[in-house]
Amino acid sequence: MSKKANVLAALKSGQELTAKQIAARYSVGNPHEVIRSLRAEGFCIYGNAKTNSKGDRNTFFRIGTPTRRMVAAAYAMLGAAA
């Protein structure tokens, strides 16, 4: 499996991963590019910012289901009639 496929499989299994975790576990040089690429392929990947007890903020990526509002916005952006 490719690195991108491994990241996608992990996200589909319900894992939430940070960019550092993606880089370390899957030997990805640019984890944000992998996430961007998966989003461009149509996967709904959310980035949720969380703050730990030390006050450090990390973004955790997870796969989810788009809301109706997000789908409507995508169609509007592409010029589809409502």
Instruction: With beta carbons less than 8 A apart as the criterion, state whether 34 and 7 touch.
Output: yes
Domains and their CATH numbers in the chain: 3-78 (1.10.10)
pLDDT at 33: 96
> Which residues, 6+ apart, have CB-to-CB distance to 7 below 8 Å?
17, 22, 26, 28, 31, 34, 35, 38
pLDDT at 71: 86
Beta bridge partners of 62: 46
Q: What is the Cα gyration radius of the chain?
A: 15
pLDDT at 13: 97
pLDDT at 81: 58
Give tens-digit pLDDT for 26-82: 999 999 999 999 999 989 999 999 998 999 999 999 999 988 998 888 888 888 655
pTM of the model: 0.80
